[in-house]
A and B are shown apart, each in its own frame.
Chain A
Amino acid sequence: MAPFAIETEKLGRIYKIRGNKKERKIRKELVALADVDLQIQQGELFGLLGPNGAGKTTLIKILTTLLAPTSGRALVSGYDVAEAPQLVRPLINMVSGGESSGYGLLTVRENLWMFSQFYGLPSKEANQRIVELLHQVGLADRIHTKSSDLSTGLRQKMNIVRGFLTDPRVLFLDEPTLGLDVSASRDVRKFIRGWLDADKSRTLLLTTHYMVEAEELCDRVAIINQGRVLACDSPEVLKRRLQRDAIFVIETSPLNGLSAPKLEALHEVRKATVTEKEGGALLNLILVEESALAAVINILTQKDIKVMHLTKREPTLEDVFVDLVGRSMAEMEQSE
């Protein structure tokens, strides 16, 4: 049986943070990853979903041999990343969102050619691949543009080509659509899926905090928060966790002091998130059952809050996240 493309066993990473000058000897510890167990099959597009600081990038750094774990172990294509990084590196590549790699004085093609040589690609074949890939991501007309003259979005497309250029067996994409507009993100997602479908021996690990991206692309998703994997399954199975529940979006007039914790105090409300907006608020409610809506409406009426619009909707990964973590990803990032 072929080894897993990626496998982690009780993987952990603790950062030791030095204090300021007065507290130099005091070393605080930050748990970035704790007991992470993952098994990713060849051919899978696996998503890591979590807010900033959840441990996604730390996990990618370990798997790409950039960072040593402090406990447990991680294997890529059966090779231990800490013990045999030289066997892992020819098989992988990585693209991070918002990276500014390469050299601004070089053109797009020169930058890509340079990186291809670090993987030993024959020069002629590298050039052919560069042209083809640039066409596929819609960057062919900028092939001779200096990379310093590219916009953030175009630069990110160049980075994405860099990752795919070397034909890795396992590709790590860390927030690949960061900084891309909606249309470009869609193109990139389509390209990613196409690349994976063309060869079933390829594997892709994607981190994102865009729920839609994870839902649209990933075969399986691990929801990660504070260094721990809270759930891991296909988006459909994860959403099925909430199928018994009723999910409502209610647009209201100003809340007059009513808050998410007060709503959650009702035993019929499993989770509530409140988004204030001009002239009112948007309530996202996960209720234990549909009939529980009456209790919520009752509270709103008592507080003299008008219901402007009410919709029932199917569960999303965002709802799964809220259910697992207690807060939405946007709320978590706002409170940082």
Chain B
Amino acid sequence: MNSPVPRGQINVLAEPVSNKATGWRLFVKTVIARAYPRIIGQQREKSWMFFDIFLPMMAVSAYVFVYRAIGAPEDYVGFVVMGGAMTAFWLNVLWGMSSQLYWEKENGNLALYIIAPNQLMAILLGMALGGMVATALRAVVIILLGTLLFNVQFVVISFFQLLAVFLLAMVALYGMGMMTSSLFLLLSREAWHISSLAQEPIYLASGFYFPIKSFPYWVAATASIIPLTLGLDAMRQLVFPTGATLGFLSVGIEIGILLVLCVVFLTGARVLLAHMEKLAIREGRLTESRR
């Protein structure tokens, strides 16, 4: 991007663009281009990185001290550190995906996305991919810090299963983010309030700081609609010695459910996005409120 480009190679007023990409090439270009600000923004605004790591670490520390004070098994400390890392993804989906389209609408980007020949689905995928990459860095730092500060021991039972669970949980989670984004397409300022409202209950329901097996069965089963719930539960089973005994369902079943959630959320996002876009065009809700 930053390589110097000499002038005079093109008569920009007269020459048409040579070979515009269409179809899947345009889709891929759009995904990469929309992911770019997410990834680059992370590097440019160092203070974001600090607060995104520092604040979850404070919550993690609080739980660690509580567990140690009450003499809980040491694996619970690892559960909390892992939960703290996954919190970053949830916050990213909530603020960087779901309510993002409202901000994009307000600053005029959404209108430009719509009138471009790309698909809005590619824009959302780009947002998801960029957000995932940027957040993964934060999550890794939280895990490293937590491990160093609280001496967490990981015993990986199956690396491939762990990778599969993580990727499936991410795809399903960001798929859910894309689906809710399309709902937010119709919202105005209330989008912000809805995101605020969703933040804390999910902390509880997903078992970020404790195993969801502690919930009554049907509560845990209902909470499993959120991909992070099962993703986190399965990952804990795969990296901590006591994980399997504290797991809600077996890893195999959880992988199966995560696969279903991936399909449901991605398909749902596609269908809902197309519907909401049509509805928003009909009702005139695609452009910022001031215009």
Contact = CB atoms under 8 A, between A and B. Distances in A.
Interface stretch (A86-94, A236-244, A253-261): A86-94
Nearest to B284: A67
Contacts of A195: 13
B260 interface: no
Nearest to A191: B13
- SS class of chain B's interface: helix, strand, loop or mixed? loop
Interface string A123-152: 001011111110110000000101000000
A67 B118 CA distance: 17
Of A66, A68, A162, A194, most B-chain CB atoms within 10 Å: A66
A286 to B, nearest CB: 33
Given A94-B112, A101-B107, A57 B40 contact: no
B49 interface: no
Given A66-B111, A144-B2, A117 B29 contact: yes
B111 A125 contact: no
Interface string B21-63: 1100110011011101100110011000000000000000000
A7 interface: no
B113 A128 contact: no
B193 interface: no
Contacts of A103: 37, 41
A164 to B, nearest CB: 8
A199 B14 contact: yes
A89 B115 contact: yes
Given A115-B112, A125-B17, A68 B37 contact: no
Contact of B33 (A61, A64, A117, A194): A117
Interface stretch (A104-112, A181-189, A267-275): A104-112
Contacts of B32: 117
B10 A92 contact: no
Contacts of B40: 105-106, 110
A114 B44 CA distance: 17
Contacts of A203: none
A99 B116 contact: no
Of B8, B21, B29, B32, most A-chain CB atoms within 10 Å: B29
B5 A114 contact: no
Given A65-B115, A106-B37, A132 B10 contact: yes
B19 interface: yes
Interface of B: 1-3, 5-10, 12-14, 16-22, 25-26, 29-30, 32-34, 36-37, 40-41, 44-45, 107-109, 111-118, 123, 281-282, 284, 286-287, 291
23 contacts: A66-B115, A94-B112, A99-B107, A105-B37, A105-B44, A109-B1, A110-B1, A113-B1, A114-B37, A117-B30, A117-B32, A119-B26, A120-B20, A120-B21, A120-B118, A121-B20, A127-B5, A131-B7, A132-B8, A133-B12, A136-B12, A136-B13, A194-B13
